[in-house]
Amino acid sequence: MHIIDWSIVVVSICFILGIAWTTKRYMRGVADFLAAGRVGGRYMICVAEGAAWLGAISIIASFETGYKAGFTSLWWQQLHAPVFLLISLSGWIIYRYRETRVLTLAQFFEIRYSRRFRIFAGILQWFAGVINLGIFPAVTARFFVNFSNLPTEINILSNAIPTYWIIMFVHLGIALLLLMFSGQVGVLVTDFCQGVVTNIGFLSLTIFFFIFMFGDWSGIADTLINKNPEMINPMLTNDVEDFNIWFYLIAGFSIVYNNMAWQGSQGYNASARNPHEARMARVISNWRGVPNTIFFVLLPVCAYVFMNSPEFSQSAAAINNSAANIGNPALSNQIRVTLAIAKMLPVGLMGLFATIMTMTSISTLDTYMHSWGSIFVQDVIIPIRKKPFSPKAHILVLKASIIFVAVFVFVFGIFYRQTEDILLFFGLTGAIVLGGAGSVIIGGLYWRRGTTAAAYSAMITGAVLSLGKIVLDQEVLFIKVRDFIVKSLPGFLQNINSFVLDKFPHIAEKYGSFELWSRIPINGQWMFAFAMASAITVYIAVSLLTCKSKFDLEKMLHRDSYQSKADNKKEKPAMGLKIFGITDEFTKKDKLIYLITICWSIGWMAVFIIGTIYAISGNTTTRGWAKFWQVQFWIFVIASVPIIIWLTIGGVKNMFEMFNDLKASKRNELDDGRVKDHHNLSDEVNELGSETVSK
- Residue boundaries of the structural domains of the chain: 3-416+551-683
Task: State mean pLDDT over 230-254.
Answer: 73
Would you place residue 695 in the very low, low, confident or very high pLDDT band (cuts 50, 70, 90)?
very low
Can you give the three-state secondary structure of 251-308, one letter per residue?
HHHHHHHCCCCCCCCHHHHCCECCHHHHHHHHHHHHHHCHHHHHHHHHHHHHHHHHHH
Residues with Cβ within 8 Å of 169's Cβ and at least 6 positions away in sequence, in order, are 410
Please answer whether residues 231 and 625 qualify as being in contact, where contact means their C-beta atoms are separated by less than 8 angstroms. Answer: no
Rounded-to-5 percentages of helix, strand, coil across the chain: 75, 0, 20
* CA Rg value for the chain: 25
**Rounded Cα–Cα distance for residues 633 and 644 (Å):** 16
Task: State mean pLDDT over 419-448.
Answer: 79
Quote the pLDDT of residue 214. 58
Quote the pLDDT of residue 651. 95
Q: Residue 264, by phi and psi: left (phi above 0), alpha (psi -120 to 50) or beta?
A: alpha
Give percent of the chain above pLDDT 90: 29
Q: What is the mean pLDDT of the chain?
A: 83
- Position with higher pLDDT, 682 vs 625: 625
- Torsion sign (Cα): 300, 303, 307, 310: positive
Q: Where are the alpha helices (DSSP H) in 23-80?
A: 30-35, 42-69, 72-77
Give percent of the chain above pLDDT 70: 84
Residues with Cβ within 8 Å of 606's Cβ and at least 6 positions away in sequence, in order, are none
Task: State mean pLDDT over 513-519.
Answer: 65
DSSP string, 106-119: HHHHHHHT-HHHHH
Quote the pLDDT of residue 229. 86
The mean-pLDDT minimum among 64-78, 179-193, 311-325, 668-682 falls in 668-682
Would you place residue 327 in the very low, low, confident or very high pLDDT band (cuts 50, 70, 90)?
low
Pairing of strands 679-680, 159-162: unpaired
Q: What is the CATH number of domain 3-416+551-683?
A: 1.20.1730
The mean-pLDDT minimum among 61-75, 260-274, 493-507 falls in 493-507
Quote the pLDDT of residue 243. 56
**Rounded Cα–Cα distance for residues 590 and 571 (Å):** 17
What number of CA atoms fall less than 13 Å from residue 286's CA on the CB side?
26
Query: What is the identity of the amino acid at 482?
Result: R
Instruction: Let me know if 295 is exposed, middle or buried by CB neighbors in 10 A (0-12, 13-18, 19+).
Output: buried
Give whole-number Cα distances, 365 to 56, 114, 168, 171, 306, in Å: 10, 31, 11, 8, 32
pTM of the entire predicted model: 0.79
Give whole-number Cα distances, 478 to 485, 487, 498, 506, 525, in Å: 11, 14, 20, 21, 19
559-587 pLDDT per residue, tens: 876 665 555 555 455 444 345 557 777 88
Would you place residue 647 in the very low, low, confident or very high pLDDT band (cuts 50, 70, 90)?
very high
- Position with higher pLDDT, 538 vs 267: 538
**Rounded Cα–Cα distance for residues 141 and 169 (Å):** 9
